[in-house]
C-alpha cells in the first residue's frame, strides 16, 4: 500500500540510491479524536531532488543499472523506483520539516530541526544532535564523517558517522553566511562552501582551518551563491547565483573558465552531464530548464520554459545515461530524455500531484478505494487510496506540448478551477460519469474516469455561470444550475438537452430536438423567447440533487428557498422558505435526508418525503465550509472556518465528536464503506485520511458540550505501507479512550411506572400454579425397585450390598433434634425474617428482590405459609409500599392476586387488617389510573406518528 505526504518540504533535497529496499511498516500516530484517528496522508510532494545520484550496476553483461530516487516530503521522505516511477516505500515522521537529504547505498540521512536522523531500510536507527540546539540544513557525507551546515549559515558541525559523536565545529566569520557545500573531487579532507555574500571558501575539515577564499567576480554587486556542483573535470566546479549567473571556476588556478546567465529568475540547481558530451543543465526559480554546450564557450542549446509550473529546486543527470531528472515545488518529479547530445530534451516520465491545495474532494464509486480531487491548480485528479501507482490526472488535452511551444505554464491553458463535482459510476463503462462546474464559467464539463480524459460533451447555461451540478443515481442524466436560477438537464450518452426546470411560471417540459425547433415560424420563436425570459428567476442555484428513483429534483437558492420539482413532468411541486440563505446542499439518497448549509451557521436536515426540517445542528463558530453524511446516514460530519471538524449524531441531534486541526479543512468526504474520512486543507496539497475507529473497535460516544475545550489534533503524516499489505485495524496509542458505561437506573423518573423486567411466564405460572399442578399430577404413584428401597444407599461392587454408615450416624445424632430444627425453621422462615427487617415506610426493595429470585412454586408456598396476623399485616404494608414507589408493577399485581385468593377469608374476618386493606386499595387505584394514562398517551403519540 502506498504512502503519501501531507506538506511540502522547506529546503529539502532529493537523494538517490541503487539499493532496492522493501516498504516500511506503518509508523505510530498520536491518538487524538474520540471517533476519528489520523491514519495517513495522500498526495505527492517532491520539492527537491538529490545533490548526488547513486547508480547500482549488477553483475552480468546484460544487467541494467537500478536507480532509486528519494524525495523529501515535509516531515518524511519517499523512495521511488526511477525505472517505473513507482513508490518503493516511505520513511516515518522525522519530527520536524526536512531541510536536506543525503544517503549512502543503504542508509538515508535527513536533517530536520536540530537533528540529523539516520534511517536504515526505512526505520529510524539513530540521530545526530546539534550541540547548541540550532536548526541544521545542508549536509554532506565525507568519508566516515558527516558535515552539516547550520540553517542560519553561521557554522558547520562535524559528526563521526559510525559512532554519531560530535567531532568538531567550525564557526564562520560574521561576514560569511554559508548557503551550500560541496567536496571537490581528489581534494583530501577539503570542502568548498558558498555564501550569501557571493564568496567561496575552501576549508580543511580535519584541521578545521580556512585554506583559501575566492571572492565574488564582481565585488561591487555581489550575488548570493545558491548551488555548487562538481564538473567531470578535476579542479573545475559550477556555481549558480541568485541573480541568474552561472560561472565555471577552476579552483586550483583561481580562474573563471566561462560565464553564462539565465534571464528568468535565480539559478536553483546545476548538473553536468556525465556520459561524455560537455553539457550543463540549469534550473531556474520560474520553472525553466536551460541546456548549455560547454564545448562552444557556453552557448545555449535549448530552453524549456514552463518545464515545471513552479520553481525547480533540484536537477540531476543520471550517470552514464542521457537522462535528466528534475523536481519542483509544483509537486512533481520529471524525467527528460535526450535522444542525441544536442537534441531537445523530451519528457519521458513524470510523477506528480496537485501543486495547489485541493478545494473539492469526493469519493468515487462504491468500493471506497478512489477519490476525485480538484484544486486551485485547475486540474481534476483521481487518487487511489489503495495503491499509489493507480493515481492519475484526468487529461485536458495535449497541454504540455502547447505550453512548451507557447512558453507559458500548463496552468494557463487549463480550464478554470473546479467548484463542484458530481459523479455516478453505474454507467462508467458506457459513457461519461463525472460532471464538473467551474469558477465563473457558463459551461459544465463531462469527464470519463475509465479513459482518464475530458469528455466530448459540454453543457452550457444561457445566462450566468454554472454553479452546481448533479449526476442522477442511474448515471444517465446530468443537471446543472446557474447563478440566475436556470436549471437544465442533459443526457450523458448523447450530450443532448432533455429537460429544463422553471422556478416561476409553468413547467417548460421536455426540450424539443433542434430539427423540430427549426421548423417553427419566426413569430412563434419570438413569443417563446419572450415567455422564457419572463419565466427566468434571478435566484442563484446553490444546490441541486435528485432522489434515488428519479422522481424528484430539489434545488436550493441563496434566498433560502427549496424548490421540489417532478423529475418527469418538470412541474413545481412544493416550495419551502427557510430562515437563512442556503449556500450548499447534500443528499443522502439511501435515507432521503438533505443537509442544508445555511448562512446563520446552522446545518438543517430536511426529510425529502415529509419535506420538513427534522434537525437543526448548531455550535459552529465560523462559516460552514462542507458537510458529508456517513454511509449509514447516522452521522453528519461538517467542517467550518474555525478549523474544527465536527461529527453529529443524526438520530439524537447531538454533537458526539469534534477536534481542531492546525489548518482549516476546506472539504470533507466519507468513504462509502465507512472506514475512512478524507479531508483537504487550505495550506496543503495532500489529502488526509482519518480512520473511523468505530469501524474497527467498539466506541462509546457521548454528547460533547459546545463550551467544552476541543483538542487540537496533528494532521496525519506519511506512513510507509507495502502496496500488497492490507489495511489493519487502528491500534490505540497514548491515553485511553473515553468509555461511557451506562447503568440503567432503577427508576427513570418519579412520574413513570417501572416493571420488574422478569419474564411474563413467571407471573402467569404463579397465578395458575394450582392448575399447572393438577395438569402435571402423575396418574399413579411411583413404584419402588423390587430388589431394594430407593432410599437405601448401596456400595459399588459385583454384589449388591447396602451402606449402613449414614443410617448409624443419623441414629447417633438423634431424629428428635432434626425434627425440632425443622419446626423452628417453619415458624420463622427466611421469607418472614426479610419481611420483618424492612422499614414500614420504605419501598421494600431488598424484600422484593428476594421474592423475584424465588421460583413460582417456592413463592406460592411462602405466601401460603403466612398464618399469623402480624405477618399478614406486614405483607399488606409491603405491597402498599411497593406500589407507592412505582416499581415492579406487574409483580405486585400477580403477588396480590395470589395473596388475596389464599388469605381473603382471613382478611375479611379480622377488623384489625381493615385499615391496611383500605390503604392498599387506594394505592392500587391510584397506580392503575396512572398506568392507563401513560399507556393512553403512548398509544396516541404512536398513532399520530403513523398517521392513523
Residue 50 has pLDDT above 50, yes or no: no
* Confidence band for 86, pLDDT divided at 50, 70 and 90: confident
Q: Round to whole Å and give the CA distance between 306 and 404.
A: 6
Residue 532 has pLDDT above 70, yes or no: no
State residue 514 phi and psi, 5-degree precision. Answer: -60, -35
* Confidence band for 523, pLDDT divided at 50, 70 and 90: very low
Q: Round to whole Å and give the CA distance between 144 and 162.
A: 7
Q: Round to whole Å and give the CA distance between 380 and 395.
A: 8
> What pLDDT score was predicted for residue 585?
94
How many CB atoms are located within 10 Å of the residue 129 CB?
15
Please tell me whether residues 166 and 71 are part of one structural domain: yes
Cell output for 512? 424539443
Please tell me whether residues 45 and 165 are part of one structural domain: yes
161 or 728, greater pLDDT: 161
Please tell me whether residues 850 and 941 are part of one structural domain: yes
From residue 16, give the alpha-carbon distance in Å to each of 64, 441, 917: 16, 44, 96
Residue 835 has pLDDT above 90, yes or no: no
Please tell me whether residues 209 and 103 are part of one structural domain: no
> Taking the mean position of all CA atoms in its chain, how far away is CA 765?
56
153-157, 242-246, 881-885: least confidently modelled range: 881-885
Residue 144 has pLDDT above 50, yes or no: yes
Identify the burial level of 884 via C-beta atoms within 10 angstroms of its C-beta, where 0-12 means exposed, 13-18 middle and 19 or more buried. middle
Please tell me whether residues 208 and 274 are part of one structural domain: no
Please tell me whether residues 188 and 221 are part of one structural domain: yes
* Proportion of the chain above pLDDT 70, given as a percent: 83
* Position 803 in a domain: no
> What pLDDT score was predicted for residue 732?
44
Nearest to 459 by CA among 432, 433, 429, 488: 488
* Proportion of the chain above pLDDT 90, given as a percent: 41
Q: Round to whole Å and give the CA distance between 354 and 350.
A: 13
Cell output for 507? 413547467
pLDDT digits (tens, 9 = 90+) for 221-231: 889 999 999 99
> What pLDDT score was predicted for residue 764?
81
* Position 510 in a domain: no
Residues 137-153 have a mean pLDDT of 91
41 or 664, greater pLDDT: 664
Cβ-proximal residues to 513 (8 Å cutoff; 6+ apart), any chain: 496
Cβ-proximal residues to 530 (8 Å cutoff; 6+ apart), any chain: none
Residues 473-496 have a mean pLDDT of 93
State residue 769 phi and psi, 5-degree precision. Answer: -65, -40
| Angle in degrees, CA 476, 592, 600, rounded to 5 | 110
* Confidence band for 775, pLDDT divided at 50, 70 and 90: confident
* Size of the chain in residues: 948
Would you say 147 and 116 are in contact if contact means Cβ atoms under 8 Å apart? Answer: no
DSSP 722-775: -TTSPPPPPPP-SSPPP-------S-S-TTS-----S-HHHHHHHHTHHHHHHH
Please tell me whether residues 203 and 112 are part of one structural domain: no
* Position 673 in a domain: no
> What pLDDT score was predicted for residue 782?
67
Cell output for 288? 525553466
Residues 104-127 have a mean pLDDT of 87
Domain boundary residue, one of 114, 140, 171: 171
State residue 773 phi and psi, 5-degree precision. Answer: -65, -40
344 or 776, greater pLDDT: 344
Cβ-proximal residues to 112 (8 Å cutoff; 6+ apart), any chain: 75, 94, 95, 96, 97, 98, 99
* Confidence band for 534, pLDDT divided at 50, 70 and 90: very low
Residues 184-195 have a mean pLDDT of 93
CATH number of the domain to which 184 belongs: 2.40.10.480
* Position 245 in a domain: yes
* Confidence band for 44, pLDDT divided at 50, 70 and 90: low
Please tell me whether residues 102 and 190 are part of one structural domain: no
131-135, 397-401, 812-816: least confidently modelled range: 812-816
CATH number of the domain to which 305 belongs: 2.40.10
> What pLDDT score was predicted for residue 817?
44
Mean pLDDT over each residue of the chain, to the nearest integer:
82
> What pLDDT score was predicted for residue 790?
53
* Confidence band for 127, pLDDT divided at 50, 70 and 90: very high
pLDDT digits (tens, 9 = 90+) for 59-72: 555 556 678 788 88
Residue 710 has pLDDT above 50, yes or no: yes
47-61, 656-670, 716-730, 791-805: least confidently modelled range: 47-61
> What pLDDT score was predicted for residue 72?
82
Nearest to 87 by CA among 689, 722, 726: 722
From residue 481, give the alpha-carbon distance in Å to each of 147, 419, 469, 554, 947: 61, 13, 6, 11, 36
* Confidence band for 452, pLDDT divided at 50, 70 and 90: very high
Would you say 468 and 480 are in contact if contact means Cβ atoms under 8 Å apart? Answer: yes
516 or 216, greater pLDDT: 216
> What pLDDT score was predicted for residue 797?
52
Count of CA atoms in the C-beta half-sphere (13 A) of 790: 4
Please tell me whether residues 245 and 158 are part of one structural domain: no
Q: Is 923 helix (H, G, I), strand (E, B) or coil?
A: helix
Residue carrying the nine cell digits 550569501? 196
Please tell me whether residues 898 and 760 are part of one structural domain: yes
Residues 295-307 have a mean pLDDT of 87
Residues 427-437 have a mean pLDDT of 93
> Of 385-394, 612-621, 688-697, 804-813, which has the strongest mean pLDDT?
612-621
* Confidence band for 94, pLDDT divided at 50, 70 and 90: confident
Identify the burial level of 282 via C-beta atoms within 10 angstroms of its C-beta, where 0-12 means exposed, 13-18 middle and 19 or more buried. buried
Q: Round to whole Å and give the CA distance between 259 and 240.
A: 10
> What pLDDT score was predicted for residue 226?
93
Residue 606 has pLDDT above 60, yes or no: yes
Please tell me whether residues 894 and 921 are part of one structural domain: yes
* Beta strands across the sheet bearing 236-241: 225-230, 236-241, 245-250, 255-261
Identify the burial level of 868 via C-beta atoms within 10 angstroms of its C-beta, where 0-12 means exposed, 13-18 middle and 19 or more buried. exposed
Would you say 473 and 552 are in contact if contact means Cβ atoms under 8 Å apart? Answer: no
* Confidence band for 91, pLDDT divided at 50, 70 and 90: confident
> What pLDDT score was predicted for residue 941?
87
> What pLDDT score was predicted for residue 800?
59
Residues 558-576 have a mean pLDDT of 93
From residue 498, give the alpha-carbon distance in Å to each of 57, 475, 509, 526, 852: 63, 14, 9, 21, 71
> Of 362-371, 520-529, 767-776, 845-854, which has the strongest mean pLDDT?
362-371
The per-type count for the chain, helices as H runs and strands as E runs, is: 14, 61
Q: Round to whole Å and give the CA distance between 500 and 507.
A: 8
Q: Is 695 helix (H, G, I), strand (E, B) or coil?
A: helix
> What pLDDT score was predicted for residue 823?
42
CATH number of the domain to which 65 belongs: 2.130.10.10
Residue span of the structural domain in which 182 resides: 175-261
Domain boundary residue, one of 153, 171, 189: 171
Please tell me whether residues 96 and 209 are part of one structural domain: no
Cβ-proximal residues to 764 (8 Å cutoff; 6+ apart), any chain: none
Residue 781 has pLDDT above 80, yes or no: no
- Interhelix angle 856-864/760-767, rounded to 10 degrees, is 40
Residue 918 has pLDDT above 80, yes or no: yes
Nearest to 291 by CA among 338, 237, 228, 339: 338
* Position 283 in a domain: yes
Residues 511-518 have a mean pLDDT of 50
pLDDT digits (tens, 9 = 90+) for 627-683: 999 999 999 999 999 999 999 999 999 999 999 998 999 999 999 999 899 999 998
Residues 279-304 have a mean pLDDT of 91
Secondary structure letter of residue 309 according to DSSP: S
Residues 289-309 have a mean pLDDT of 89
* Confidence band for 721, pLDDT divided at 50, 70 and 90: very low
Domain boundary residue, one of 335, 352, 369: 352
How many domains in the chain? 4
Dihedral (CA of 454, 456, 459, 464) sign: positive
> What pLDDT score was predicted for residue 318?
87
What letters, b where the CB count within 10 A reaches 16 and e where it falls short, cover 184-202? beebeebbbbbbbbbbbbb
pLDDT digits (tens, 9 = 90+) for 856-880: 888 888 888 888 888 888 898 899 9
Would you say 932 and 926 are in contact if contact means Cβ atoms under 8 Å apart? Answer: no
Would you say 382 and 449 are in contact if contact means Cβ atoms under 8 Å apart? Answer: yes
Q: Round to whole Å and give the CA distance between 34 and 43.
A: 26
Nearest to 802 by CA among 811, 812, 810, 791: 791
* Confidence band for 291, pLDDT divided at 50, 70 and 90: very high
* Position 149 in a domain: yes
Would you say 49 and 69 are in contact if contact means Cβ atoms under 8 Å apart? Answer: yes
* Confidence band for 705, pLDDT divided at 50, 70 and 90: confident
Q: Tell me whether strands 635-640 and 644-649 are parallel, antiparallel or unpaired.
A: antiparallel
pLDDT digits (tens, 9 = 90+) for 922-943: 999 998 988 888 888 888 888 8
* Position 433 in a domain: no
| Angle in degrees, CA 179, 183, 186, rounded to 5 | 160
* Position 594 in a domain: no
Amino acid at each position: 500500500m502506498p504512502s503519501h505526504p501531507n506538506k511540502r518540504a522547506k529546503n529539502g533535497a532529493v537523494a538517490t540510491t541503487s539499493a532496492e529496499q522493501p516498504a516500511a511498516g506503518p509508523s505510530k500516530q498520536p491518538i487524538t479524536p474520540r471517533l476519528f484517528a489520523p491514519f495517513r496522508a495522500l498526495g505527492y510532494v517532491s520539492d527537491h531532488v538529490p545533490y548526488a545520484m547513486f547508480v547500482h550496476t549488477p553483475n552480468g553483461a546484460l544487467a541494467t543499472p537500478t536507480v532509486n530516487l528519494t524525495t523529501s516530503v515535509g516531515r518524511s521522505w519517499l523512495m521511488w523506483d526511477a525505472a517505473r516511477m513507482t513508490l518503493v516505500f516511505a520513511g516515518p515522521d522525522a519530527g520536524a520539516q526536512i531541510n536536506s537529504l543525503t544517503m549512502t547505498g543503504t542508509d538515508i540521512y535527513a536533517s530536520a530541526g536540530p537533528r540529523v536522523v539516520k534511517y536504515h531500510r526505512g526505520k529510524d536507527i539513530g540521530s545526530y544532535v546539534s550541540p547548541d540546539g540550532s536548526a541544521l540544513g545542508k549536509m554532506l557525507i565525507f568519508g566516515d564523517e558527516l558535515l552539516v551546515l547550520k540553517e542560519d549559515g553561521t557554522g558547520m558541525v562535524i559528526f563521526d558517522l559510525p559512532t554519531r559523536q560530535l567531532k568538531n565545529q567550525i564557526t564562520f566569520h560574521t561576514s560569511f553566511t554559508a548557503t551550500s557545500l560541496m567536496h571537490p573531487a581528489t581534494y583530501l579532507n577539503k570542502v568548498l562552501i558558498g555564501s550569501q555574500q557571493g564568496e567561496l571558501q575552501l576549508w580543511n575539515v580535519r584541521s578545521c582551518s580556512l585554506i583559501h577564499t575566492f571572492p565574488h567576480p564582481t565585488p561591487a554587486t555581489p550575488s548570493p551563491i545558491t548551488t555548487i556542483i562538481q564538473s567531470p573535470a578535476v579542479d573545475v566546479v559550477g556555481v549558480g547565483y541568485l541573480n541568474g549567473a552561472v560561472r565555471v571556476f577552476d579552483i586550483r588556478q583561481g580562474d573563471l573558465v566561462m560565464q553564462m546567465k539565465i534571464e528568468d529568475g535565480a539559478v536553483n540547481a546545476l548538473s553536468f552531464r556525465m556520459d561524455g558530451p560537455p553539457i550543463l543543465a540549469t534550473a531556474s526559480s520560474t520553472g525553466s530548464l536551460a541546456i548549455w554546450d560547454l564545448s562552444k564557450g557556453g552557448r545555449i542549446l535549448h530552453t524549456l520554459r514552463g518545464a515545471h509550473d513552479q520553481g525547480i529546486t533540484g536537477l540531476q543527470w543520471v550517470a552514464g545515461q542521457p537522462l535528466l531528472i528534475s523536481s519542483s515545488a509544483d509537486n512533481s518529479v520529471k524525467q527528460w530524455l535526450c535522444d542525441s547530445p544536442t537534441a531537445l530534451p523530451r519528457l519521458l516520465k513524470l510523477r506528480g500531484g496537485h501543486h495547489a491545495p485541493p478545494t473539492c474532494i469526493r469519493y468515487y464509486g462504491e468500493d471506497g478505494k478512489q477519490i476525485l480531487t480538484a484544486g486551485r491548480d485547475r486540474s481534476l485528479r483521481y487518487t487511489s487510496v489503495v495503491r499509489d501507482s493507480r493515481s492519475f490526472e484526468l487529461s485536458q488535452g495535449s497541454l504540455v506540448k502547447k505550453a512548451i511551444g507557447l512558453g507559458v505554464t500548463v496552468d494557463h491553458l487549463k480550464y478554470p478551477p473546479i467548484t463542484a463535482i458530481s459523479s455516478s459510476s453505474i454507467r462508467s463503462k458506457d459513457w461519461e460519469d463525472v460532471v464538473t462546474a467551474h469558477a465563473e464559467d457558463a459551461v459544465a464539463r463531462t469527464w470519463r474516469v475509465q479513459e482518464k480524459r475530458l469528455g466530448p460533451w459540454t453543457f452550457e447555461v444561457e445566462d450566468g455561470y454554472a454553479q452546481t451540478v448533479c449526476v442522477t443515481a442511474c448515471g444517465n442524466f446530468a443537471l446543472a444550475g446557474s447563478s440566475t436560477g436556470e436549471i437544465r438537464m442533459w443526457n450523458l450518452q448523447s450530450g443532448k438537452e432533455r429537460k429544463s426546470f422553471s422556478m416561476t411560471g409553468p413547467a417548460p417540459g421536455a426540450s424539443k430536438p433542434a430539427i423540430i425547433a427549426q421548423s417553427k415560424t419566426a413569430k412563434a420563436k419570438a413569443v417563446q423567447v419572450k415567455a422564457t425570459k419572463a419565466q427566468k428567476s434571478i435566484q442563484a442555484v446553490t444546490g441541486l440533487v435528485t432522489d434515488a428513483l428519479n422522481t424528484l429534483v430539489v434545488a436550493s437558492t441563496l434566498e433560502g428557498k427549496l424548490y421540489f420539482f417532478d423529475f418527469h413532468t418538470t412541474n413545481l411541486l412544493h416550495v419551502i422558505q427557510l430562515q437563512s440563505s442556503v449556500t450548499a446542499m447534500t443528499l443522502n439518497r439511501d435515507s432521503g435526508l438533505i443537509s442544508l448549509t445555511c448562512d446563520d451557521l446552522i446545518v438543517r436536515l430536511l426529510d425529502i418525503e415529509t419535506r420538513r426540517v427534522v434537525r437543526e445542528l448548531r455550535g459552529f463558530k465560523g462559516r460552514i465550509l462542507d458537510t458529508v453524511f456517513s454511509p449509514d446516514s447516522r452521522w453528519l460530519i461538517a467542517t467550518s472556518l474555525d478549523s474544527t471538524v465536527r461529527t453529529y449524531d443524526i438520530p439524537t441531534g447531538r454533537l458526539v465528536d469534534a477536534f481542531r486541526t492546525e489548518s482549516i479543512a476546506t472539504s470533507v468526504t466519507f468513504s462509502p464503506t465507512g472506514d475512512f474520512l478524507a479531508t483537504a486543507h487550505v495550506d496543503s496539497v495532500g489529502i488526509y485520511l482519518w480512520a473511523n475507529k468505530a469501524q474497527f473497535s467498539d466506541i462509546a460516544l457521548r454528547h460533547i458540550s459546545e463550551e467544552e475545550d476541543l483538542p487540537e489534533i496533528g494532521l496525519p503524516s506519511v506512513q510507509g505501507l507495502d502496496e500488497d499489505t492490507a489495511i489493519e485495524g487502528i491500534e490505540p496509542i497514548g491515553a485511553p479512550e473515553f468509555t461511557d458505561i451506562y447503568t440503567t437506573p432503577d427508576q427513570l423518573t418519579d412520574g413513570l411506572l417501572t416493571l420488574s423486567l422478569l419474564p411474563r411466564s413467571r407471573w402467569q405460572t404463579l397465578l395458575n400454579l394450582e392448575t399447572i399442578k393438577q395438569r402435571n399430577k402423575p396418574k399413579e404413584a411411583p413404584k419402588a425397585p423390587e430388589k431394594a428401597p430407593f432410599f437405601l444407599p448401596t456400595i459399588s461392587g459385583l454384589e449388591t450390598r447396602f451402606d449402613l454408615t449414614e443410617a448409624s450416624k443419623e441414629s447417633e445424632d438423634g431424629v428428635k433434634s432434626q425434627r425440632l430444627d425443622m419446626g423452628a425453621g417453619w415458624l420463622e422462615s427466611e421469607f418472614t425474617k426479610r419481611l420483618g427487617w424492612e422499614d414500614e415506610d420504605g419501598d421494600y426493595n431488598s424484600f422484593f428482590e428476594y421474592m423475584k429470585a424465588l421460583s413460582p412454586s417456592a413463592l406460592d408456598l411462602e405466601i401460603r405459609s403466612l398464618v399469623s396476623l402480624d405477618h399478614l399485616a406486614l405483607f399488606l404494608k409491603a405491597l402498599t409500599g411497593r406500589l407507592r414507589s412505582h416499581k415492579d408493577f406487574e409483580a405486585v399485581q400477580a403477588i396480590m392476586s395470589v395473596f388475596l385468593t389464599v388469605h381473603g377469608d382471613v382478611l375479611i374476618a379480622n377488623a384489625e387488617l381493615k385499615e391496611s386493606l383500605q390503604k392498599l386499595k387506594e394505592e392500587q387505584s391510584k397506580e392503575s389510573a396512572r398506568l392507563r394514562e401513560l399507556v393512553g398517551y403512548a398509544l396516541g403519540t404512536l398513532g399520530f406518528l403513523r398517521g392513523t
